[in-house]
Structure 1
Amino acid sequence: MKPAVKNRPQSVLFACTLNTVRSPIAEALGRHFFGKGIYFASAGVKRGESDGFAVAVMEEIGVDMTKHHPHDFEDLEDSSFDLIVTLSPEAHHKALEFTRTLATEVIYWPTLDPTAVEGSRERILDAYRGVRDSLLQRIKQLLDYQPMGNL
């Protein structure tokens, strides 16, 4: 068993505008790579509709997002998170308002909204892959990911 990383948050909320692409991808990546060692959740400023491209690019790396249902901050069962990572300006403002009376760290990672990309299916998928890969790299760095084989 791996020793716990000092100062690693025990609960992380990822937030974006609609909780359809960026924040659910980040939540799913966190769960996939960190298992039950950290509690992950996601929310949007507003509740959007599930996004098939997000599901598809996660499926490419073996992560199932088909059970994700978008929800907003008001839908959260628990408001106490050690860390909130915001992925859009709207989500950042909402998170600051949400935590004004809490001792929760809020950080902002400006992240492309791939739904704004136009063109062929492959071009759109490439934008989603870019978001997925960028979030994965940042999450691993933030939480000091160490593969189980490197004990």
Structure 2
Amino acid sequence: MAGPDRTGGRRVQSVLFVCAMNAIRSPLAEALARHYFGKSVYVQSAGVRQGERDPFAVAVLDELGIDGSKHKPRTLVDLEEWEGLNFDLIVSLSPEAHHAALELTRTVAAEVEYWPTADPTLTQGTREQVLDAYRDVRDGLSYRIRLRLKGS
């Protein structure tokens, strides 16, 4: 479940989702948040390291009618250079990302929440079993995002 609202009851106007490589978890979260909240919340995602778009992540978004095919993985450094890191809330989705997010709070006035999220690439088995692992990540993020940002 979502953590306490540490934004002091203020509406979250901008959120950054961070994972290891901006290939699966954070792009899924970004796409879902944009799908549910449109332009009412500014949403971005980034990774600690550079990754590549994951076709399974695109596929499970497509199942919901969300186009994830245009996502271009970027790092926190890329995002900072392009537009800065002015976010109300940073949600970290992996241990590496959480460490990086906490480091950012030395220079960025943002609240950080850690939502431990499984890495579906660690799943072995059939294509359908792997897709099920991606769906589990997608559905878990979908629930948390809607719960956390519903008042925004």
Tell me, in whole angstroms, the C-alpha distance in 1 between the residues paired with 2:99 and 2:15: 17
The 1:60–1:145 alpha-carbon spacing in structure 2 relative to 1, beyond 3 Å, is farther
Give the TM-score, by structure 2 length.
Answer: 0.90
Residue 78, structure 1, aligned to residue 76, structure 2: no
Tell me, in whole angstroms, the C-alpha distance in 1 between the residues paired with 2:151 and 2:34: 12
How many correspondences in the alignment?
141
CA deviation vs aligned residue, 1:105-146 (integer Å, no higher than 9, x gap):
000000000011111000000000000000000000001269
The aligned amino acid for 1:26 is A
| 1:10 to partner: Cα distance | 0.5
Residue in structure 1 matched with residue 103 of structure 2 by the alignment: 97
User: Which consecutive residues of structure 2, in runs of 5 or more, have no partner in the other structure?
Assistant: 1-8
Secondary structure of the corresponding residue to residue 13 of structure 1: strand
Q: Percent same amino acid at aligned positions?
A: 60
Tell me, in whole angstroms, the C-alpha distance in 2 between the residues paired with 1:8 and 1:65: 27
User: Which consecutive residues of structure 1, in runs of 5 or more, have no partner in the other structure?
Assistant: 1-5, 147-151
| 1:96 to partner: Cα distance | 1.0
Give the TM-score, by structure 1 length.
Answer: 0.90
The 1:43–1:67 alpha-carbon spacing in structure 2 relative to 1, beyond 3 Å, is same
Tell me, in whole angstroms, the C-alpha distance in 2 between the residues paired with 1:145 and 1:24: 22
The question of whether the paired residues in 1 share the 8 Å contact of 2:11 and 2:151 is answered with: no
CA deviation vs aligned residue, 1:3-38 (integer Å, no higher than 9, x gap):
xxx622110000000100000000000001100011
| 1:101 to partner: Cα distance | 2.2
User: RMSD of the alignment, in Å?
Assistant: 1.3
- Whose RCO is larger (CA < 8 A, sep 6+)? 2
The 1:16–1:45 alpha-carbon spacing in structure 2 relative to 1, beyond 3 Å, is same
